[in-house]
Amino acid sequence: MKKMFFSAGVAALLILGSCGNSATEKNGADTTATAPADTMPPATSDAVTPEGTQVAVANLQLTSDSTKNIGTAKFYKLTDGKIRLDLEINMPERADSNVAVHFHEHGDCGMKGENSHGHWNPTKSNHGEWGSAAFHSGDIGNIKLDASGHGTKSVTTDLWSVEPGDKEIIGRAVIVHGGTDDYKTQPTGNSGPRVGCGVITKL
């Protein structure tokens, strides 16, 4: 009789243990379950940000060595129609100094950037600091490079467009100058030599 009670007890324990394992596996499956395919959020492109979509880019190289990249200028069209520029420069050889950046008329980096000609200035304004009483539409201004030669700048404006017209920036050159823009000297700001260049290309 004792053997029968013992066998029944063991059987009960085995049944309970089996039920416990099933619950654990099921609970584990529930916590890692994925949503049905039709409820999954749509995939987004790397070029899409919460603010807008990348529409153009200029890859910057040294004017003295076009094989050496020194940064990028990325352009985004925002939901309100404005264009935002996110500019990043890496020039260790110019660490702890300013460089000046402007858009130039022609997207040609030949002759150490001289083929880009003068500042892009569709409004025929005087040269000056961005946002002041008078400035060129491509007067991006000075960027302070840190101890490693890295610097960034962002500009958002309705003065630019990627579509044909007076505001079109496609096909312009982004020129990096080796000096500081004084925002006064006409028409260039006495910004120094053209040390970097890239052509704005529509994506």
Percent of the chain with pLDDT over 70: 75
Burial (CB < 10 A; 0-12, 13-18, 19+), residue 170, is middle
Asked whether residue 170 falls in the same domain as residue 112, the answer is yes
Percent of the chain with pLDDT over 90: 74
What confidence tier does 27 reach under pLDDT thresholds 50, 70, 90?
Answer: very low
The pTM (predicted TM-score) of the whole model is: 0.75
Q: How many domains, the chain?
A: 2
pLDDT digit string, tens, across residues 51-104: 689 999 999 999 999 999 999 999 999 999 999 999 999 999 999 999 999 999
Q: Tell whether 113 is covered by a domain.
A: yes
Handedness of CA 169, 118, 187, 100 (dihedral sign): positive
The domain containing residue 11 runs over which residues? 2-35
Q: Tell whether 43 is covered by a domain.
A: no
- Rg (alpha carbons) of the chain, rounded to whole number: 30
Q: Tell whether 45 is covered by a domain.
A: no
Q: Helix or strand or coil: residue 99?
A: strand
Asked whether residue 29 falls in the same domain as residue 58, the answer is no
pLDDT digit string, tens, across residues 165-183: 999 999 999 999 999 999 9
Mean pLDDT, the chain, rounded, equals 82
Asked whether residue 136 falls in the same domain as residue 104, the answer is yes
Q: Tell whether 47 is covered by a domain.
A: no
Exposed e or buried b per residue across 98-119, where buried means at least 16 C-beta atoms within 10 angstroms of its C-beta: bbbbbbbbebbbeeebebbeeb
pLDDT at position 49, please?
Answer: 56
Structure-model confidence comparison of residues 3 and 108, the more confident one: 108
Report the C-alpha gap between 61 and 58 in whole angstroms: 10
